[in-house]
Amino acid sequence: MPIKYVPFIPEPIEGQAVLGNFNRILKYKGANDVTMTLQRGMPLYEMEKQETVGENPDGNMVIHGECVSACAYLKEKDIQVDLVYIDPPFASGADYAKKVFIRRNPKVAEAITQAEQELDIDELKDFEEKMYGDVWDKEKYLNWMYENLMAIKSIMSETATIFVHLDYHIGAYVKILLDEIFGEANCINEIVWRRKGGTALGTMNSLSVAYDNIFWYAKSSEYIINPVYTEASEEYINQQFKYADEDGRRYMITVMRSPNPRPNLMYDYKGYKMPPNGWAITRDKMEELDRLGYLHFPDSKDKQIYKKIYLDEYQGQAINNLWTDISTLKGSNSEIVNYATQKPEELLERVLTLSSNENMIVADFFGGSGVTAAVAAKLGRRFIHCDIGLNSIQTTRDRLKADGAEFDVLEIKDGVQLYRNPVQTMDKIKSLIPGLKNEDSLDPFWEGAISESKLGTVPVYVPNLMDSSSKLLDKVTMSRIIHQAIPDLDSNIKKVIVYYIDITDKGEIMQFIKEDDSTTVEIELRDLKTVLDDVIIGDYAEFHIEENHNDLFGGYFVVIDRFISDRVLSKISEFNQKAFLNSSTKKPYQPIEISEDGLELIEFLSVDCTATEGEWHSDSEIKIDKNGYVIVNGNKTKDFWDGKIRCDKKPLRLKIRNICGDETVWEV
């Protein structure tokens, strides 16, 4: 249950045509629900600090949780952001999977002898694990996006801007939302990023899609915009810089014509022909440029004066809203962190340079691989990374740690224990709710149905964990169930079950149901957390402690003897079964085999030598990359993992992350 509700914008909501323009244009289902949600406010939950990396004097944050609740926390703490970049789901209908790589077993002698050899990527054993499903009903997506954008706007400073990265699937609709939320006058640009050449056909019936759209909006008319230039090609330089002065300095010339006539720009200068609308600069400025040697005088008074641009002072070509010079990440690019939809750092460097300055706060509420936070740290900006997926938090945390960034890792305590990420939890729910089965006759609003001997078919509603607007059971959602979902059911339905993740006030909702006499169908409320509590099963590890007598530094070793992860082994078994069914003589069956000690299933280890409970202190850590090499305390090496982790002080706690990203902590 939330601590309280934080207003989206300064209360009361006055003068804001909430969904007015958009609702008039599309009349989409659920618009009124969003209006009620906005009037209720953003749910504020407790925020728990999981870890502090470095001293973090700038207050950088990596937040595990969804956008609206993160914005509620920031607004409650009176934290305003100066630039927002978001790359939310595109409503593309696609599922995105992460490749999970089996690590080398450090106890296999042969692997140790090959430590100097680079392992070819094709030799790596891997399987895929679904990370999130970008499958949305359009109306639900727009409701969800509207709420998120309103939440983000509420924590933007008056000079802040927002970049919303989408594609053709939903971009045109979100553009209308942005016009309403930020105002049409505050649309700065629609940027087109050509992410690939697009020379090949996409399908038999369409062309390949070669670009994304990035919508750039300002909070107000006063916003930050910095000049950004691209490097000119040698061909361009040779074509344009064809003049040279008496000192040999190369330059090109540019016209100085005013687009509109103004009295102070209409004057004679040394008898040379004046442009029709006058000069582009005043006489004083013209004389200054002349004195400094920046004017190019033609060979005839019948011609116009030009301005010189010297090659040794040339910054490059100013960018426009068509970005064709930034490539997507390919092949063995060192930036790749094995995360679906990862964007190149160069793209974010341009965004941050364009609309923020040093020490400003940059936020990304669908942070993914952490590229926004990583670039912000490198450019001297403060950052806030937020994502609902634990894999995003782990990927970003490790990436920032390797870059030497300092930050807090925070978790929104909204009572939801996710399996690994929302889509995996939703996939698992049907097997966790006793008796729940698919029912084709029901509207997709219902997750399925349970059969009861006395009541017959009982439809079951389960909130979508990927949609923050449905996570909280309030009067808005309950009203929709009573007045829209239940009336669409067969008249023989006598009972429905409504699961909730969080609830505004159970007594209040029960009273709301009781007082509404529009249906005779019984409504039973159930807490989904009682189901999710059984979802995550910790891994098992056997280990022992050794004192380090082998070098001058001393300290301790935590030696891992055995590691078992039932969930990962289950995924591997599932993969092997599919591989067997799809095998042929040309493509023989090649199962993934795991040793008895199971050390191939470990991706990351961390030792806390400071505390036995509470906030984690990573006093020593090792990450094992997909090639088997270790990254020790953020520093990449060409060493293979030896099955140990060293620490200076006596270890108190051990954390192990398996290759799927599940983390388990043991007291030592």
Region 180-196: mean pLDDT is 92
- Give the model's pLDDT for residue 76: 96
- Indicate if the pLDDT at residue 121 is higher than 50: no
Region 345-369: mean pLDDT is 96
Region 342-363: mean pLDDT is 96
Q: Which of 359-373, 382-396, 406-420, 601-615 has the lowest mean pLDDT?
A: 406-420
- What would the pLDDT profile of 146-185 be if each residue is shown by its tens digit? 999 999 999 999 999 999 999 888 899 999 999 989 999 9
- Indicate if the pLDDT at residue 665 is higher than 50: yes
Which helix (H) or strand (E) element contains residue 431?
A: helix 422-432
Q: Look up residue 567 and give its amino acid.
A: R
- Give the model's pLDDT for residue 31: 55
What is the number of other CB atoms lying within 10 angstroms of the CB of residue 566? 11
194 torsion bin: left (phi>0), alpha (psi -120 to 50), beta (else): beta
Mean of pLDDT over the chain: 86
- What would the pLDDT profile of 575-613 be if each residue is shown by its tens digit? 888 888 888 888 887 888 899 999 999 999 999 999 999
Q: Quick check: 356 and 385 in contact, CB under 8 A? A: no
- Indicate if the pLDDT at residue 269 is higher than 90: yes
- Give the model's pLDDT for residue 15: 39
- What would the pLDDT profile of 4-38 be if each residue is shown by its tens digit? 989 887 643 343 444 444 444 444 455 566 777 78
Percent of the chain clearing pLDDT 70 (strictly above): 86
Region 504-515: mean pLDDT is 90
Q: Quick check: 383 and 359 in contact, CB under 8 A? A: no
In DSSP terms, which residues pair with 85 in a beta bridge? 163
pLDDT-derived band at 81, boundaries 50, 70, 90? very high
Region 491-495: mean pLDDT is 92
What is the number of other CB atoms lying within 10 angstroms of the CB of residue 615? 14
- Give the model's pLDDT for residue 172: 92
- Indicate if the pLDDT at residue 110 is higher than 60: no
Region 390-407: mean pLDDT is 94
Distance CA 186, CA 223 (A): 10
Three-state DSSP state, 658: strand
- What would the pLDDT profile of 437-483 be if each residue is shown by its tens digit? 888 889 888 989 999 878 899 999 998 776 666 778 888 889 889 99
Which of 88-92, 114-118, 471-475 is predicted most confidently?
A: 471-475
**Domains of the chain listed by start with CATH number:** 4-93+135-225+321-413 (3.40.50.150), 230-316 (no CATH), 422-532 (3.40.1340), 540-667 (2.60.40)
* Predicted structure pTM score: 0.80
Strand intervals (E) in 195-299: 201-203, 206-207, 211-218, 229-230, 243-244, 250-254, 295-296
Region 536-565: mean pLDDT is 87
- Give the model's pLDDT for residue 388: 87
- Give the model's pLDDT for residue 10: 62
- Give the model's pLDDT for residue 18: 45
Q: Which of 322-326, 510-514, 659-663 has the lowest mean pLDDT?
A: 659-663
- Give the model's pLDDT for residue 416: 66
- Give the model's pLDDT for residue 14: 42
The better pLDDT of the pair 560, 119 is held by 560
Question: Nearest to residue 140, comparing CAs of 605, 463, 597, 469?
Answer: 469
- Give the model's pLDDT for residue 534: 57
Question: DSSP per residue over 520-549, as a string?
Answer: -SEEEEEETHHHHTTT----EEEEEEEE--
